[in-house]
């Protein structure tokens, strides 16, 4: 299968895919779900390539793996865990069994408790020592930060609760900057940590507690914990009724649908949070039932495999023409790279192909004035994934929104069409001639034939955000299955954590001579500089 795909790619690599693109192809090489459209027609995937890709996907056993995931089997084999973040949004669905036990009553119960707390914070029923809660500070990192941070920004038009702040970095600048603008007497601190051991979060949580303790008599009363280590959260001093637990079948980077989403729920309210869950559930139902050709996560994943593993493009850019999705690239960096940035396959062998690509991006149009130069004329091809809404949340500025949309469409067209030497010459022939004309024209040539996909939707509502995030989650799963990877562990983050722990006494003054020369030299320099 892989060989067939590589052979097909070799045959068509130089073809200009623009020549394929009539209105029929645009219809055929796109997938819709509700109001969302995924268009992958501006790529070099043709009917033959697509059939081979779908063959690859079928041969990977994806259908069985998908069934196993939704059935609660322990598909996260290195950690012996089920993978059931989808249960967190399965509100209208049936039972979900883990070891024969239905987890849905627990999911519903926790959601109801979250909603009660969110309502109390929003309507003043829950107060700080100095009055109603004005500020919520979510302290968490990685999956305990990126999801609610990204989602709260994305849904800012629905934000009618207290101000929300997010602290992740152990750098005191992060916590210090947030606490400087909060009043301890009216602030609620949410400690979000699945394990309740993460050093950055524990350090920031202790510092926040000390800050609050200096101003109010019972700081623990203004703390909430989100964790699967309920006992550790209680030992930290947070009463059981304000600890929201979740099970080990929710991976950190897949956790914003449950307790980890509490800050976002407080910001936008329980009803909008439920709409977000419904959007995710709609994508789940689609992923489980749509034939591969009409299955959005499957086709998004296959487009990624085509560009990375077959064409050899090492990175992909996520480019939201939707300013409030400004944190989506960072969110996807964890989702995709922590899930599929692996070198060992599920059967313990070194992978024969590259694994997940490097994911990066920025909102358009800002990126246009920064790195798009490389995207258009650099020597490496960067497949681009555009996202764009038909409407913004500023109806009085729809004309300005149309300018945004025009920019988005123009970029994918420019990447595809490029500009030939003849066209470049014609544009400047009135200013240059002879050899200078040729030289100047060469700088204005765009090679084109650069692939992109576009995800278009009516408006960034909670439901649409739910669609989008679940779409990317399932895309990661499909890519992982096709590559033979366990997408749900993350052993690659462990070594650095261990070494940081070992270095703590050294940066505090202990002897550094056992370290390599570079590390010891840096410690020496930093000590002399005031460490």
Beta-strand relationship, 187-192 and 223-227: parallel
Beta-strand relationship, 187-192 and 135-139: parallel
By CB under 6 A, the residues from 250 to 289 that bind ligand F6P are 252-253
Q: Which of these is catalytic: 369, 494, 498, 528?
A: 369
> Are 226 and 118 spatial neighbours (Cβ–Cβ below 8 Å)?
no
Distance CA 398, CA 143 (A): 34
* 496 three-state secondary structure: helix
Structure token digits, residue 217 = 């008599």
Instruction: Indicate if 338 belongs to the active site.
Output: yes
Nearer to ligand F6P, 317 or 359 (CB): 359
Structure token digits, residue 433 = 């001639």
Distance CA 101, CA 221 (A): 34
| Closest distance to ligand F6P from the beta carbon of 387 (Å) | 23
Assess 141 for contact with ligand F6P (CB under 6 A): yes
**Of 189-197, 299-307, 414-422, 501-509, which segment contacts ligand F6P by CB under 6 A?**
189-197
| Closest distance to ligand F6P from the beta carbon of 407 (Å) | 34
For residue 47, count CB atoms less than 10 angstroms from its CB and return exposed for 0-12, middle for 13-18, buried for 19 or more: exposed
Assess 194 for contact with ligand F6P (CB under 6 A): yes
Instruction: Indicate if 423 belongs to the active site.
Output: no
| Closest distance to ligand F6P from the beta carbon of 319 (Å) | 25
Q: Which of these is catalytic: 77, 394, 427, 497?
A: 497
By CB under 6 A, the residues from 409 to 428 that bind ligand F6P are none
Residue with tokens 């487009």: 303
| Closest distance to ligand F6P from the beta carbon of 329 (Å) | 17
> Are 112 and 258 spatial neighbours (Cβ–Cβ below 8 Å)?
no
**Of 187-195, 349-357, 393-401, 449-457, which segment contacts ligand F6P by CB under 6 A?**
187-195
Dihedral sign from CA coordinates of 151, 156, 160, 164 = positive
| Closest distance to ligand F6P from the beta carbon of 213 (Å) | 22
Assess 493 for contact with ligand F6P (CB under 6 A): yes
- The three state secondary structure string of 88-103 is HHCCCCCCCEECCEEC
CB atoms within 10 A of CB 452: 27
Instruction: Indicate if 272 belongs to the active site.
Output: no
Nearer to ligand F6P, 347 or 498 (CB): 498
Assess 193 for contact with ligand F6P (CB under 6 A): yes
> For the window 207-246, what string marks contact with ligand F6P as x by the rule CB under 6 A?
----------------------------------------
**Which residues, listed in sequence order, are joined to residue 39 by a DSSP beta bridge?**
30, 454
Among 195, 234, 377, 519, binds ligand F6P (CB under 6 A): 195
> For the window 471-490, what string marks contact with ligand F6P as x by the rule CB under 6 A?
-------------------x
Assess 342 for contact with ligand F6P (CB under 6 A): no
| Closest distance to ligand F6P from the beta carbon of 129 (Å) | 27
By CB under 6 A, the residues from 144 to 163 that bind ligand F6P are 144
| Closest distance to ligand F6P from the beta carbon of 205 (Å) | 10
Q: Which of these is catalytic: 200, 336, 338, 362?
A: 338
Number of residues that bind ligand F6P (CB under 6 A): 14
Long-range contacts of range 364-371, CB-CB < 8 Å, 24 or more positions apart?
A: 364/319, 364/320, 364/321, 364/404, 364/407, 364/408, 364/411, 365/321, 365/404, 365/407, 367/317, 367/319, 368/407, 368/411
Max Cα-Cα span within the chain: 82
| Closest distance to ligand F6P from the beta carbon of 368 (Å) | 32
Distance CA 436, CA 305 (A): 43
Residue ranges in contact with ligand F6P by CB under 6 A: 141-144, 193-195, 198, 201, 252-253, 338, 490, 493
Active site amino acids: 338, 369, 497
């Amino acid at each position: 299968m892989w060989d067939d795909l590589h052979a097909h790619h070799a045959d068509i690599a130089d073809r200009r895919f623009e020549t394929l693109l009539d209105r029929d192809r645009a219809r055929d090489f796109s997938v819709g779900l509700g109001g969302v459209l995924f268009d992958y027609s501006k790529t070099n995937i043709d009917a033959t390539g697509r059939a081979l890709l779908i063959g690859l996907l079928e041969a990977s056993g994806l259908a069985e793996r998908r069934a196993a995931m939704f059935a609660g089997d322990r598909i996260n084999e290195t950690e012996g865990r089920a993978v059931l973040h989808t249960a967190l949004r399965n509100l209208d669905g049936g039972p979900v069994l883990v070891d024969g036990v239905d987890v849905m009553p627990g999911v519903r119960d926790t959601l109801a408790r979250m909603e009660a707390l969110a309502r109390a914070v929003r309507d003043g029923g829950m107060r700080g020592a100095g009055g109603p809660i004005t500020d919520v500070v979510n302290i968490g990192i990685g999956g305990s930060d990126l999801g609610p941070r990204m989602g709260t920004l994305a849904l800012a038009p629905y934000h009618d609760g207290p101000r929300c702040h997010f602290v992740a970095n152990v750098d005191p600048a992060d916590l210090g900057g947030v606490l400087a603008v909060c009043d301890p007497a009216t602030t609620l601190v949410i400690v979000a940590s699945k394990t309740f051991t993460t050093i950055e979060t524990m350090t920031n949580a202790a510092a926040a507690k000390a800050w609050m303790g200096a101003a109010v008599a019972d700081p623990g009363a203004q703390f909430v914990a989100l964790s699967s280590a309920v006992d550790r959260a209680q030992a930290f001093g947070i009463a059981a009724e304000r600890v929201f637990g979740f099970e080990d079948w929710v991976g950190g980077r897949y956790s914003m649908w449950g307790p980890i989403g509490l800050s976002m729920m407080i910001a936008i309210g329980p009803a909008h949070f439920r709409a977000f869950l419904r959007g995710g559930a709609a994508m789940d139902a689609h992923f489980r039932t749509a034939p591969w050709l009409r299955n959005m996560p499957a086709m998004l994943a296959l487009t990624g495999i085509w560009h990375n593993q077959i064409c050899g493009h090492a990175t992909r850019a996520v480019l939201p023409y939707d300013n409030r999705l400004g944190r989506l690239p960072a969110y996807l960096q964890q989702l995709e790279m922590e899930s599929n940035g692996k070198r060992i396959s599920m059967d313990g062998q070194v992978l024969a192909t590259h694994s997940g690509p490097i994911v990066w991006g920025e909102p358009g149009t800002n990126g246009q004035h920064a790195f798009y130069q490389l995207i258009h004329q650099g020597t490496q091809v960067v497949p681009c994934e555009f996202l764009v809404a038909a409407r913004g949340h500023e109806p009085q500025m729809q004309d300005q929104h149309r300018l945004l949309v025009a920019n988005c469409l123009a970029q994918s067209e420019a990447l595809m069409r490029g500009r030939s030497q003849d066209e470049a010459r014609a544009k400047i022939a009135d200013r240059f001639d002879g050899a200078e004309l040729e030289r100047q024209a060469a700088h204005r040539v765009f090679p084109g034939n650069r692939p992109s996909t576009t995800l278009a939707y009516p408006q960034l509502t909670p439901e649409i955000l739910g669609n989008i995030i679940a779409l990317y989650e399932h895309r990661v799963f499909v890519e992982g299955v096709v590559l033979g990877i366990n997408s749900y562990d993350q052993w690659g983050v462990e070594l650095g954590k261990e070494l940081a722990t070992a270095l703590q006494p050294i940066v505090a003054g202990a002897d550094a001579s056992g370290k390599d020369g570079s590390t010891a030299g840096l410690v020496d320099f930093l000590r002399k500089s005031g460490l």
